[in-house]
């Protein structure tokens, strides 16, 4: 029994030190090197925190860029998808309603021009980003309402497009909150 018990206790203590001590400290140390220092990157506007870079927010006014729909209404405490598949009739009805609503607010945009991300919820329900196409399809609506040229807004979208890491990892994306803050600053 001693033959197995002593090595087992030594191994258990060693793994506790490594996995419950050294590893968490190393991960916390790496986190301190990231934007936000491991607490999440906050977005500041006019001297106050207005959101987090990795958590989407609900924008419904026509003068702003809309983000991706959320199955949890952007509630970070209840992050999650709807678990409804693409053949679920309730889900298809909800997507059709979102398409109709988007077309109502964006006259001139056809059903085929609407990127899927603007009418389907993300898996987390908190997606803060859109593809550049998802932002560009909204430019005409916002330009008309704000009295700004469409070219100026298209340029704003291009300026806020984050390219893939190293030019090949991940998609190009636009953070909706940062874009909307820049949109508000554009009028000034």
- pLDDT tens, residue by residue, 60-80: 899 999 999 988 888 877 777
Q: Over 80: is that where the pLDDT of 48 sits?
A: yes
The DSSP output letter for 77 is G
If asked whether residues 57 and 25 sit together in one domain, one would say: no
Residues 14 and 52 in one domain: no
Q: Is 20 exposed, middle or buried (0-12, 13-18, 19+ CB in 10 A)?
A: exposed
161-162 and 48-52: which strand pairing? unpaired
Whole-angstrom Cα distance, residue 89 to residue 71? 16
Average pLDDT of the residues in 153-174: 93
How confident is the model over 152-158, as a mean pLDDT?
95
The answer to whether residues 56 and 12 belong to one domain is no
**Same domain as 130, residue 58:** yes
pLDDT of residue 71: 83
Expressed as residue numbers, the domain containing 47 is 41-186
Residues 146 and 127 in one domain: yes
pLDDT, position 36: 77
Q: What is the pLDDT at residue 81? A: 75
Both 143 and 64 in one domain: the answer is: yes
- Residue 43, judged by CB atoms within 10 A of its CB (0-12, 13-18, 19+), counts as middle
pLDDT given at position 188:
58
Backbone angles phi, psi at 161, to 5 degrees: -85, 120
Mean pLDDT along residues 162-171: 90
Work out the number of other CB atoms within 10 angstroms of the CB of residue 114.
Answer: 19
Same-domain pairing of 89 and 137: yes
> Do 76 and 143 fall within a single domain?
yes
Q: Pseudo-torsion of CA 166, 171, 175, 179, nearest 10°?
A: 90
Q: How far apart are CA 117 and CA 128, in angstroms?
A: 12
Domain tally for the chain?
Answer: 2
pLDDT, mean of residues 27-55: 85
Tokens of residue 68, six digits: 């991706």
- Residue-level pLDDT at 80: 76
pLDDT digits (tens, 9 = 90+) for 91-145: 899 999 999 999 999 999 999 999 999 999 887 878 899 999 999 999 999 999 9
> Which pTM was predicted?
0.80
Question: Above 90 in pLDDT, residue 155?
Answer: yes
Three-state DSSP at 185 gives helix
**Alpha helices, DSSP H, located in 54-148:** 89-105, 132-136, 139-146
- One domain, residues 172 and 92: yes
C-alpha span between 103 and 113 (Å, rounded): 10
Q: Is the same domain home to 93 and 138?
A: yes
Q: Are residues 9 and 98 in the same domain?
A: no
pLDDT at 121: 85
Residues 6 and 68 in one domain: no
- Please tell me whether residue 88 adopts helix, strand or coil conformation: coil
Structure confidence at residue 166 as a pLDDT band (50, 70, 90): confident
The pLDDT value given to residue 14: 96
- At 44, the pLDDT band (50, 70, 90 cuts) reads confident
- Pick from 100, 119, 120: nearest CA to 110: 100
Distance of alpha carbon 137 from its chain centroid, rounded? 18
Instruction: Give just the sign of the alpha carbon dihedral 175, 180, 186, 188.
Output: negative
């Amino acid at each position: 029994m001693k033959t197995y018990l002593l090595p087992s206790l030594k191994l258990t203590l060693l793994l506790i030190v490594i996995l419950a001590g050294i590893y968490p400290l190393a991960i916390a140390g790496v986190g301190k090197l990231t934007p936000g220092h491991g607490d999440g990157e906050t977005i500041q506007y006019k001297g106050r925190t207005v959101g987090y870079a990795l958590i989407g927010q609900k924008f419904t006014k026509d003068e702003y860029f809309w983000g991706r729909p959320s199955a949890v209404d952007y509630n970070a405490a209840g992050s999650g998808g709807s678990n409804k598949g693409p053949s679920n009739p309730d889900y298809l009805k909800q997507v059709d309603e979102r398409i109709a609503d988007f077309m109502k607010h964006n006259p001139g945009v056809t059903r085929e021009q609407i990127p899927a991300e603007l009418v389907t919820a993300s898996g987390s329900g908190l997606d803060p980003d859109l593809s550049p196409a998802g932002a560009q399809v909204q430019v005409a609506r916002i330009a008309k309402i704000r009295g700004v040229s469409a070219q100026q807004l298209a340029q704003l979208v291009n300026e806020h497009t984050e390219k893939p890491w190293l030019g090949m990892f991940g998609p190009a994306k636009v953070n909706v909150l940062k874009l909307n803050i820049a949109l508000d600053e554009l009028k000034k």
